[in-house]
A = this chain, B = another copy of it.
Amino acid sequence: MPVKCRNCPLRKREVFSPFTDDELRFMEHFKSGEMVVDPKTDILLEGAKSAQLFTVLSGMGVRYKQLEDGGRQVINFVLPGDFIGLQAGVMDEMKHSVASTNSMTLCVFQRTGLWEIFEKHPERAFDLTWLSAREEHFLGETLATIGQRSGLERVAWGLLQIFRRGQDLGLSNGRRMPLPYTQHDLADALGLSLVHTNKTLTRLRERKLATWRNGELEIPDLGALADAAATDIPDRATRPLF
């Protein structure tokens, strides 16, 4: 029973382009409902064979892998517009877990709809592949950062990355944006210890490059922070499909 999706961030390849009639029809056809998730709750678990795919309408979360020894690697941060569960839809099961950080509302699709997309909507199918390739690209960037850069560079890069995504999503008020994660989340994402991440954040704050407090991130000068991250100004990133 398709539900009207007032807020579903279905997009063409352009960020924030208006919906076409075709896209609206497409959305309503495949959407099967909405779902609200409490903070700090697992949405998908590694190994799960989920029958649903999700799109984030609001709230934030993390993709992560739990290690045997108790460690955790945060793969990336999940923001509004992100697609969740494509792995379970295309492969047989999830290869990582997804948990909410905030309270999140999700747009729900049935996995079976995927086949219909590939059969009847080749352009949408192409978009799905594009989405997956984009994820691959970002993971490569992350890998290069974790593998090759120092602690300060990693933290600066991570904050910069998520701030840019927030900007593209319209989450930022000028130089501020909400960031409900814990320092532990960031540490696990960057491959640093919690303590060292904390001390590095303090350094960034002292240098007035980035201040992250009470769930709000402030970056006075993107360029200065980018210098600290040793990255060139990058591709503007987020282009959600649904």
A residues with a Cβ closer than 8 A to B are: 65, 67-69, 71-73, 75, 86-87, 90-91, 95-96, 115, 118-119, 122-123, 125-126, 128-130, 132-137, 139-144, 146-149, 188-191, 230, 232
Nearest B residue to A70, CB-CB: B148
Task: Tell me which residues across on chain B come within 8 A of A135, comparing CB atoms.
Answer: 136
Q: A122-B122, A122-B125, A147-B188 are in contact. List 4 more A-B contacts (CB 8 A).
A: A67-B148, A69-B230, A73-B148, A119-B122
Residue from A71, A148, A188, A232 having most chain B Cβ neighbours under 10 A: A148
Checking B75, B122, B130, B137 against A140 with a beta-carbon cut-off of 8 angstroms, the contacting residue is B75
Residue from A90, A128, A143, A230 having most chain B Cβ neighbours under 10 A: A143
Checking B128, B136, B146 against A136 with a beta-carbon cut-off of 8 angstroms, the contacting residue is B136
A137 touches B73 (CB 8 A): no
Nearest B residue to A132, CB-CB: B132
Nearest B residue to A231, CB-CB: B68
Task: Tell me which residues across on chain B come within 8 A of A90, comparing CB atoms.
Answer: 126, 129-130, 133
B144 touches A146 (CB 8 A): no
B65 touches A133 (CB 8 A): no
| 26 pairs from A and B in contact (CB 8 Å cutoff) | A65-B140, A67-B148, A68-B230, A69-B230, A71-B148, A71-B149, A73-B148, A87-B133, A87-B136, A90-B126, A91-B133, A91-B137, A95-B140, A95-B141, A118-B123, A118-B125, A118-B126, A125-B125, A125-B126, A129-B129, A132-B132, A139-B139, A139-B140, A143-B146, A146-B146, A147-B188
